[in-house]
Amino acid sequence: MKGEAITLGFDPGLAVTGYGVVHALSDGWEVISGGIIETTKGIPRAQRLREIYEEACALISTYHPYGVAIEEVFLARNARTAMLTAEARGALLMATVGVPVRGYTPLQVKKRITGYGKASKGQVQAMVKQLLHLNEIPHPDDVADGLALALCYMLDLQGIDRGECDYL
């Protein structure tokens, strides 16, 4: 990785999409921002997806990330939930036109962040806190997940499993 870079991670969801913005420095990483994109309940789904798209576009425009990481829809117990999450991913992907994007499954995130693919959510959150030198675990969970995804991209930039998750 040349010099300093900024990555943006998204944990997609129709109701709540978490995001994290991480800046690589010569001696580690720092959190620039983290938060959630909350859509308005009760309005048509297309409008909710547009809200996600517009907020993601605004984040990309504000932070000018080197790359974006978006969690993959890997396996869901509820088919409807999986479809809604996949639609939110689609809105996020549309917002990333012109920016390199990588997808990570939950198992890949766990393995990169903790070294163990079956780590608990709490273990991932604790490692995000430690790796980013935070005083506390980011809340809500969606923010911690967004930061973990941004870190995955950073780790890839440093040569760990580089290219494995690129979109073509």
Q: Which CATH class is domain 5-105+138-157?
A: alpha beta
Give the chain's end-to-end CA distance (angstroms, integer): 20
| Confidence label for 22 from pLDDT (cuts 50, 70 and 90) | very high
- Which positions ≥6 away from 13 have C-beta within 8 Å? 84, 85, 88, 142
Q: Which residues are catalytic?
A: 11, 71, 142
pTM of the model: 0.91
Cis, bond preceding 140 (omega within 30 deg of 0): yes
In the chain, what percentage of residues exceed pLDDT 70? 91
Read off the pLDDT of residues 61-105 as tens digits, 9 standing for 90 and up. Answer: 999 999 999 999 876 678 888 899 999 999 999 999 999 999 999
Domain ranges of the chain: 5-105+138-157
| Confidence label for 163 from pLDDT (cuts 50, 70 and 90) | very low
pLDDT at 160: 56
Q: What is the DSSP string of 21-53?
A: EEEEETTEEEEEEEEEEEPPTTS-HHHHHHHHH
- Cβ contact 10:69 at 8 Å: yes
Q: Kindly report the CA angle at 66 between 61 and 70, in degrees rounded to 5?
A: 85
Mean of pLDDT values over 40-49: 96
| Confidence label for 167 from pLDDT (cuts 50, 70 and 90) | very low
Q: Kindly report the CA angle at 17 between 10 and 139, in degrees rounded to 5?
A: 90
Q: How far apart are CA 76 and CA 46, in angstroms?
A: 22
